[in-house]
Structure 1
């Protein structure tokens, strides 16, 4: 059995089309089709139900997919444990959300430069849903984002917990007590767009008390959220870990609330059929993370 054919089959099954697999593997569509035919010939079975326009797996195809993902995962584990990392080369695309980009991402890039000097790392910084979509479509090889994540053929590892607090400018006139969602409802809530986990956390927090109609100023950058908050344009939910300087300079203050907020867990996530280097980058991310441990 040819491993390249097996990998191609897994990507076809995962991405849902030969065309998408061809783009992911940097191959032509006829090449992908030939690899699938060769794999089918090797096993004497049909992997896809060709009576459907979509690439629907046959029962034998689904069975082989499970074995194939296990085989690729074992090969990746062997590579990560045995290979000389200084000889690892190629190109890997890493998707991260802004909370990581603004904290320990430089340390991770520095460690990757040291451990894998011949590896070219390309970074994509975006909101949670955008990074997740890029991972699912094969545009990136590994994602660092808020969890939990669920999906077939994915490996996920915790990167720790991040605490979020309501913040405002000290100049903004707010009641001098622990506030409720109803209290904050009268303020403009500065937040990331609905493509972010943070937006959903805020929405759920207000709905818990029945205050589900809240005014928002929406953007796609956490640094812009902080700038607008400092400018007294509203209140925002942000991680104090990132904004310690602004808090110490009295540009921001923590707004205490009666209804507690749960910490947000961040994770690394990559497909079992992805690049072998992804597992090693995930381990490096764990070692570089400054987020609070689950234990």
Structure 2
């Protein structure tokens, strides 16, 4: 039987694990063929004291896609995954690519991680925000924003669980069948709530998880989350509860391993806190459920 195949379009770093470097290995471990297009190529993520590299332009993305399309490879993809895009020209070209891929292969699942910012701070331009909100969002099957990104996409200020539900319903109304708000600040000092909702016919199934906080700044976690959720939804035939539990439990194992490594060497710098993905191969393949999802009525 052929393996599922993902086209993953997001950032790349030479050293460390963000973007495609964070997503590819877990997807491969879980049985996916992965083809990658890099939106940027950097030496490392931007929190290091020095970051060098190149931005891939919309014209470059167009050329790469024309090569894939010209060789009649589009129908091979079961999934499309997108993450951080540096420029509006790249993002605008991406809209055309998603539209074309869905036209040629109506069964493809598009997972959009709308990387726009966090904690009230934008990483992208106003033009990119508009493209996400008005053009990419209606094309997405699955979307994985953080709280700030969900607020930007919906125009709702999130301060309670009721606000989360309102925001999720707005995202559903714009055509997204599965919404996962990966992290929110409406929990307590020790835990971060995560919320997910899936349209199943005329019904909505909704779940929340409480994720223990780890006192460190990790990078690449959103990219990892989107890749794991994509994989487990596919492998479980869209069992949302089980997919969330596998995704979050795997992430917590990786983050705790990373944190414990940094603690063991007495350094909590950017390099020491690069995700320990390779060391977590077995945990990615066969996660132990450590966090359970709770059903939300309504």
Please, what TM-score do these two structures have when normalized by structure 2? 0.24
Relative CO higher for 1 or 2, CA cutoff 8 Å, sep ≥ 6? 1
Please, what TM-score do these two structures have when normalized by structure 1? 0.24
Larger radius of gyration: 1
